[in-house]
Amino acid sequence: MWDKGIAEYLDYLLIERGMAKNTIVSYERDLNQFAEILKEAGIVDPIKVSLDDLYLYLAVLWRKKMVSTTIARKIACIRGFYEYYRLEGKIKVNPTKKLDTIKRKQALPEVLNEFEVDKLLAAPEGDVLGLRDKAMLELLYATGMRISELLNLNIGDIELEAGYVRTKGKGDKERIVPLGEVANEAIKKYLSASRPRLLKRPTDAYFVNARGGRLSRQGFWKILKSYASKAGITKDVSPHSLRHSFATHLLQNGADLRTVQELLGHADIATTQIYTHLSQSRIRQVYNQTHPRSQRKNNEGN
């Protein structure tokens, strides 16, 4: 179906639009790449492509570290392809129309899989600094907080007994995020055995450096890089990686988009939707494995 649809569109560009052959060759290359990526995800009919499938395609381009201008060109090509389909009456709505809401064109930070997260969180030792670092890493992954939100936490912002964190995100908007048991225990150990030994002077800062002051963004970056290396993680891990991993893993395990939006503190759900491309392959895999009619039975008709 893909081959026929692309061929018809290219003929339309050549005959009716009078485009140059070099331009058509470029369009053909981009459309074939698009088709191959979606066929690998199980999309065999271009008419069936959804917005989530387009996010999946974007994810692959970002992972290939393509520049924004190249991605914009490829999207323009696909937008033209589906506009042709709409004009031909094959579809009612061009599925690329809502891609205009995507503001971010560069690659997302690396997302760690659950095994890599486990290795990273197990990397800190049980000394004074290790207990602090363990608490910070567990808290980031448990809540999906931005690194700036983590470092701006003050004593009183975390309610360990109730199991939640109160934080302020962009626009000084406050939100309350649940705190899991593992992170809760790590924070308790930090507060009892680590923070008192690090303090040199009174401060409200929740997480302090070796000199007793509030930990800086640069300081945390060095800490994270050190533990990623110790854990044998070769991905380019950044302070934002645990936030992206948090959101992706929630979606992969069945969380709805609105809940993830609230947890991340996104004002617009379109911002949260960017994570759906990272979970689509897993969702499709689970569907194919569990739905009784996802595939034709080998013994059908017997």
Residues 6+ apart with CB under 8 A from 191: none
Contact 74, 27 (CB under 8 A): no
Residue 170 annotated in active site:
yes
| Per annotation, catalytic residue among 74, 132, 195, 243 | 243
Alpha-carbon radius of gyration of the chain: 24
Render 8-76 in DSSP notation, one character per residue.
Answer: HHHHHHHHTS---HHHHHHHHHHHHHHHHHHHHTT---GGG--HHHHHHHHHHHHHTT--HHHHHHHHH
Write the DSSP symbol of residue 215: P
| Per annotation, catalytic residue among 170, 173, 197, 200 | 170
**63 HSE (CA, 13 A, CB side):** 12
Handedness of CA 273, 275, 277, 282 (dihedral sign): negative
Amino acid at 88: E
Residue 82 annotated in active site:
no
Residue 85 annotated in active site:
no
| Per annotation, catalytic residue among 74, 195, 266, 277 | 266
| Per annotation, catalytic residue among 146, 244, 249, 277 | 146
C-beta neighbour count of 9 within 10 angstroms? 23
Residue 275 annotated in active site:
yes
| Per annotation, catalytic residue among 55, 84, 227, 275 | 275
Residue 249 annotated in active site:
no
| Per annotation, catalytic residue among 214, 240, 282, 284 | 240
Instruction: List residues with catalytic annotation.
Output: 146, 170, 240, 243, 266, 275
